[in-house]
Amino acid sequence: MTGPGRQRAGAATGDATPPPALEPGAAWAGYLAAARQLDGVRRSAAAAAGEQARSAEAAREELTVVRTGLASQQDRLRELGVPPISLVPSPPELTEAARSMVGGPAAVLAALRAARGWAEAADAALAARRGIRPGSWPARARNLLVYGPFALLVPLIQVAVLAATGVGAATVAALICGLPMPAVAFVAGWIAIGRLFRVSPTERLDRTVRFGALVCLVPAVLATAGLLLALLAG
C-alpha cells in the first residue's frame, strides 16, 4: 500500500531507511578473522603455561641439588671450625632472596642456577684448601707425619750420645734405655693422631696401627744394631 498512510506509518516507526544487510562473504571473513585471533590467544596462553610448568619442574630439581650440596658444605665447614651462626643467612640476605623470587618460576630457576654455581665454586675452594691440609691426605701419609718424629727421637739421641762420648758406659746406657722406646713412640703417636686429626662422629679414624708400629720399630732396630756394632768394635 502506497500513499500518505504508508509514509505516516514509516515515520511513526522511525525506519524510514533500514540498515543495509551484510553480505554473506564479508560476515564469514570476519568470523574467520576472529576465530584465528582467538586461536592465537589460546596458543600463546598454552605456551606460556607450559613454559611456566617446565620452569617450575626444573626449579624443583635444581632446588634438590642445591640443598644436597649445601648440606654437604655445611658439614665440612663445621669440621673446619666455622660457627653454626655463620652458616645461617642474615635477614638482608633473606630479603634479597625473596625479592628475586617475585618474577615467577623462570626467575626462581635462574636464581637457583646462580646459587648452584656459587656452591660449586665454594666446593672447588674447599677442595683446594683441603689439598694442602694433612687431614685430607691418605691415612698412611698423614700418620707418618706423627709416627715418624716420635720414632726418630730416641735413635737420634742414641747416635748423638755415641758421637759425643764414644764407646763406653754412656753408650751402653743409651742402648738399654732405647730398647722400650719403640713402644713408647707408638703409643705417643697413636694418642697424637687422635688429638690432631678429627673426623665426623659417624666415621672412624684410621690410625694405621701396623704401619705405625713398623715406622716406630725400624729406626730403633737400625740404631740398636749400630750401637751394638760400635760396642763390639770397641
Q: What is the predicted pLDDT for the residue at 147?
A: 93
Which pLDDT score, from 0 to 100, does residue 3 have? Answer: 47
Q: What pLDDT was estimated at residue 70?
A: 76
The pLDDT value given to residue 55: 73
208 in the Ramachandran plot: left (φ > 0), alpha (ψ -120 to 50) or beta? left
Identify the pLDDT of residue 227. 86
DSSP labels, the chain: --SHHHHHHHHHHT-SSPPPPPPHHHHHHHHHHHHHHHHHHHHHHHHHHHHHHHHHHHHHHHHHHHHHHHHHHHHHHHHTT--GGGGSPPHHHHHHHHHHTTT-HHHHHHHHHHHHHHHHHHHHHHHHHHHTSGGGS-HHHHHHHHHHHHHHHHHHHHHHHHHHH-SSHHHHHHHHHHTTHHHHHHHHHHHHHHHH----TTS-----HHHHHHHHHHHHHHHHHHHHHHHHH-
Q: Cα dihedral sign for 148, 151, 152, 153?
A: positive
Q: What is the pLDDT along the chain (234 residues), one digit of tens a residue?
A: 444 444 444 444 545 555 555 566 677 677 667 777 776 777 776 666 677 777 777 777 877 877 787 777 777 777 666 777 777 777 787 787 777 667 667 777 777 777 777 777 776 666 655 544 555 678 888 889 899 999 999 889 888 888 888 888 888 888 888 888 899 999 999 999 888 887 666 678 888 999 999 999 999 999 888 888 888 886
